[in-house]
Structure formats: structure tokens, C-alpha cells
Amino acid sequence: MKVFLSTDMEGTAGVVAWEQCVGDGPQAEAGRRLLLAEVNAAIEGAVAGGATDVVVNDSHSTMRNLPADRLAGGASYVSGAHKPLYMMQGLDDSFGACLFVSYHGSVGAAAGLSHTYNPNAVIEARLDGRVTGEAGINALVAAHYGVPVVLVTGDRCACDETAALIPGVHSAVVKEHVSRVAAHSLHPELACELIKLQARAAVQTAADAPPPRFDPGVLELSVRTTDIAEAASWVRGVDRTGPRELRIHGDTHLGTYRSFCAAILLTRTVAEIR
């Protein structure tokens, strides 16, 4: 079975500050070591559960956070910025399972380092009326290709938000919210043990897990300024429904996701204007 693994970073046990997630300083290097251990735990669990091929998509920041030669299980590595399918690049209908590792809660939620793709632009995202974070948005791609999302790891909020949209998903909660820049984390070794255990169980049962079901799969966004909303509405499939409200609906779930990514990319410069 081929397994796809999309990894973020803010949901890693022990990571509580942006300095641990970006740049090349000593804190960022330490954060990447913690992330690598959790990714490898998920790979090892997936292989123990029956995975024969694991593809890791590095989805955080510059998307080159992991040393390719230190990935476990002979996993291949999708890295680098400006991927057409962003956090889901590499997924297609040949995969039997999808894993989300080190995910975080949505913007505005009680979660550490909470945001939804671009914290300078998005105030809230809703999928078919339910508040969602990046896991739910990314699951649109899995739904399009008919691949079950069987595992999410990260903070409590990320796991709960994912389970609300994808019933039956396995979860590995590695830290609890204290504030947006503080958390109570499991010891990294225990976090990795939990991730490995849940990844194994998730992949073992993936053949019986359905892909995400979204009907109609409409994504709604509340954004920070009217200028952001105006620029986003230039993208095909994005309608402006209020001064700072957007409705994104493609011909397919993949089309919706691509329109969302295009809107996020297009509005980055506008969103940085204070």
C-alpha cells in the first residue's frame, strides 16, 4: 500500500514559538529535529501497518525542513516552495491512505500557533458550514482522489477539528493548549511512541476506511480586510459574498482546493499591508 504523509510543524510536541518553526537559528534547528522524529515515527508505524511506499510532503514554511537522507523507511520526499497542490502535492488515486503529521488548530481556535494557511489574511475558514483548519481544507484533495485520511497528529484542537469532519480518523494528541504560545507537551519520546502506534493502527485499517465525504464541499472564508477579499475574488471559483466574506466552489473538490490556494497566493502581498 502506498501511503501519503503531509507534514506541517506547529503541532510538534515541544514546539510553542515561531522561532522554533522558521529560519535557521538554533531554536529552529531544534524544532526541526523534533519534527523529524515525529515524521519518522509516523513512517515507521505506517510501514509496520503494511505500507510498502511512503511519500512525505514537507508542507511547512519554505517546505524544506527535513534532511532527506534521514527519513525512515526509504520514504521519498516532496519539498520546496510553489508546489501546484501545496500541502497535498504528490497525492493521487494510487495511494491507499493519507496521514497528516504535526498539524495545528485553526485560526482563532484555542491552539498553539493557531492559523489557517495565511494568518495575515484568513480570520476563519468553514467547510460546508463547519469551522475547519488546514486538515479539513487539505482533505478536499484526498476526497477528490478517493483516498482515506486515516491519521492526524498534533495538538488537541487539530485532532478534534479533523475528527469532526472525518469521523473515524485515528488521532495522536501530543500536546494540550495553554495559550497561543504555550503548551503542555508529551515528552518527545512518548509523543513518537504514540504516533507510531496510531500510524500502525491507522494503516492496518485503511482498506476499510472511506475517503472524506464533503457535500457539496463549499469552502467559505472570512478575511482580514476588504482589499484581501477583492483580490481573492479575481480567482476563478471565488465569489465575494460580503465585504470580507468569500465563497469558494470549484467544479470538483480538487478545483475548490486549487482556487483556494490561488487566492491565498494572490493575496499574500495585499495581506501584508498594514
Give the tens place of pLDDT for each residue, 118-132: 999 999 999 999 999
Catalytic residue among 60, 82, 104, 115: 115
Instruction: Compute the distance between CA of residue 170 and CA of residue 202 in angstroms, rounded to an integer.
Output: 6
To the nearest whole percent, how much of the chain has pLDDT over 70? 100
Point out which residues pair with 7 in neighbouring strands.
58, 101
Q: Can you tell me whether residue 90 is helix, strand or coil?
A: coil
- Annotated active-site residue 115? The verdict is yes
Sign of CA dihedral 124, 127, 130, 131: negative
Can you give the residue ranges of every domain in the chain? 2-119+132-208, 219-271
pLDDT band at 183 (very low <50, low <70, confident <90, very high): very high
Instruction: Compute the distance between CA of residue 12 and CA of residue 111 in angstroms, rounded to an integer.
Output: 12
Q: Average pLDDT for residues 181-199, to the nearest whole number?
A: 98
Q: Do 45 and 195 meet the contact criterion of CB atoms below 8 Å apart? A: yes
Q: Average pLDDT for residues 140-168, to the nearest whole number?
A: 97
Say if domain 2-119+132-208 classifies as CATH 1.10.40.50: no
Q: Average pLDDT for residues 139-163, to the nearest whole number?
A: 98
pTM of the predicted model, to two decimals? 0.97
Q: Do 245 and 228 meet the contact criterion of CB atoms below 8 Å apart? A: no
Instruction: Compute the distance between CA of residue 203 and CA of residue 181 in angstroms, rounded to an integer.
Output: 32
Give the tens place of pLDDT for each residue, 71-93: 999 999 999 998 999 999 999 99
Question: In the structure grid, which three cell numbers stand for residue 255, read together?
Answer: 478545483
Instruction: Compute the distance between CA of residue 273 and CA of residue 227 in angstroms, rounded to an integer.
Output: 10
pLDDT band at 274 (very low <50, low <70, confident <90, very high): confident
